[in-house]
């Protein structure tokens, strides 16, 4: 099996303990030589400064290629483009451009009166700056707001045509879900790379709730397996086995890049990466 190229998603810390946890996570995973890492932007645009600080610190301290997530939520066009400009000035050349979700309890997405109405408008404006490699979200299981069977593919095509260079998917649980989506994208003329998003499962109860909210279908066999693993205290072992199996099925189907949702906890992602043959670059240099 070919060794995949991997990348990681982190979220910005909210307090000192979180800052240490992020720092430990980046330190543990950086030696796996990710093609890029990304830092999320809190729902409702709640982490504007924290995301900026985390992005620039990881970039400066570890020399990693960092993609800053940026959403349209609760900001005017001018404010959003100002954030992007501050990234360009800090040497950040990658942005994950998203419409974003509103803050909890606010109902559906409502554009800021002077803001971008949707992700396509944001991508067009960022592409016009000529300063960024733009990545966008994609949805192998239907996004909760998809208006029809083809809506997610049609909309992804619009995002790519607007200037996005690649897409990262929402997490999903079965390789066929990704392959069906990839086939539909190919048929629709999307030739940009679509990178599967992989969520190593840290807490099955929490993941199931999150999956329901974001539209990822939970297979019955996985629920049964976690019921048993939880009873036996083997949740982590099952998580690594399930994620490694999903990744190797994807690689067998031609996937070359995998993006891991680390949740700022390095151990499961690291174990899955090792199982796929991705080994620490630093350790190898020390041996040589």
Separation of alpha carbons 117 and 215, rounded Å: 22
SS3 71: strand
Smallest distance, ligand FAD to C-beta of residue 11, A: 8
Give least dist CB 258 to ligand FAD, A: 13
Nearer to ligand FAD, 116 or 235 (CB): 116
Name the residue number minimizing CB distance to ligand FAD: 137
CA 244 to chain CA centroid, Å, is 17
Q: Which of 9, 49, 121, 202 is catalytic?
A: 9
**Cα–Cα distance measured from residue 263 to residue 199, given in angstroms and rounded to the nearest whole number:** 9
Give the nearer residue to ligand FAD in terms of CB position, either 137 or 163: 137
The least distance separating ligand FAD from the CB of residue 286, rounded to whole angstroms, comes to 34
Q: How many CB atoms lie within 10 A of CB 162?
A: 20
Cα–Cα distance measured from residue 170 to residue 176, given in angstroms and rounded to the nearest whole number: 14
82 is known as an active-site residue: no
- Residue ranges that bind ligand FAD, judged by CB under 6 A: 40-41, 43, 69, 71, 96, 98-101, 118-119, 137, 139, 143, 145-147, 151-152, 155, 168, 170, 197
Supply the DSSP symbol for 126: H
Q: In the complex, what is the shortest distance from the CB of residue 204 to ligand FAD, in angstroms, rounded to a whole number? A: 21
Query: Which residues lie below 8 Å from residue 76, measured CB to CB, with a gap of 6+?
Result: 112, 113, 114, 115
Report whether 64 contacts 30 (CB < 8 A).
yes
Instruction: Confirm if 1 and 234 have CB atoms less than 8 A apart.
Output: no
Cβ contacts of 143 within 8 Å, gap of 6 or more: 151, 152, 170, 214, 215
Q: Considering beta carbons, is residue 33 or 121 the nearer one to ligand FAD? A: 121
Nearest Cα neighbor of 81 from 108, 121, 40 is 121
Residue 86 or 279: the one with the smaller Cβ distance to ligand FAD is 86
CB of 157 to ligand FAD, least distance (A): 10
- Name which of 159 and 270 has its Cβ closer to ligand FAD: 159
Among residues 169 and 239, whose Cβ is nearest to ligand FAD?
169
From the CB of 151, what's the least distance to ligand FAD, in Å?
4
The DSSP H or E segment spanning 287 is: helix 281-287
- Tell me the helix, strand and coil percentages in the chain, rounded to 5: 50, 15, 35
Which residues are known catalytic residues?
9
């Amino acid at each position: 099996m070919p060794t995949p190229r991997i990348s990681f998603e982190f979220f910005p810390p909210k307090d000192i303990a979180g800052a240490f946890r992020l720092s430990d996570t980046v330190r543990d995973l950086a030696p796996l030589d990710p093609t890029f890492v990304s830092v999320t932007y809190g729902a409702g645009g709640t982490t504007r400064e924290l995301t900026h600080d985390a992005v620039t610190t990881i970039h400066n301290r570890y020399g990693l290629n960092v993609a800053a997530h940026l959403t349209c939520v609760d900001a005017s066009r001018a404010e959003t483009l100002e954030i992007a400009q501050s990234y360009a000035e800090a040497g950040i050349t990658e942005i994950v451009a998203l419409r974003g979700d509103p803050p909890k309890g606010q109902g559906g997405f409502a554009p800021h009166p002077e803001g971008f109405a949707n992700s396509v408008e944001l991508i067009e404006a960022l592409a016009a700056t000529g300063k960024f490699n733009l990545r966008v979200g994609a949805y192998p299981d239907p996004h909760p707001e998809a208006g029809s069977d083809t809506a997610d593919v049609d909309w992804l095509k619009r995002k790519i045509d607007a200037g996005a260079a690649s897409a990262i998917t929402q997490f999903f649980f079965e390789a066929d879900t990704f392959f069906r989506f990839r086939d539909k994208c190919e048929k629709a003329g999307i030739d940009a790379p679509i990178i599967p998003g992989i969520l190593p499962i840290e807490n099955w109860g929490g993941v199931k709730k999150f999956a329901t909210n974001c539209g990822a279908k939970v297979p019955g066999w996985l629920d049964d397996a976690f019921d048993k693993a939880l009873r036996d205290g083997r949740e982590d072992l099952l998580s690594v086995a399930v994620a490694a199996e999903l990744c190797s099925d994807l690689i067998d189907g031609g996937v070359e890049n995998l993006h891991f949702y680390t949740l700022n906890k390095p151990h499961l992602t690291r174990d899955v990466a090792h199982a796929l043959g991705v080994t620490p670059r630093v350790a190898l240099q020390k041996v040589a």
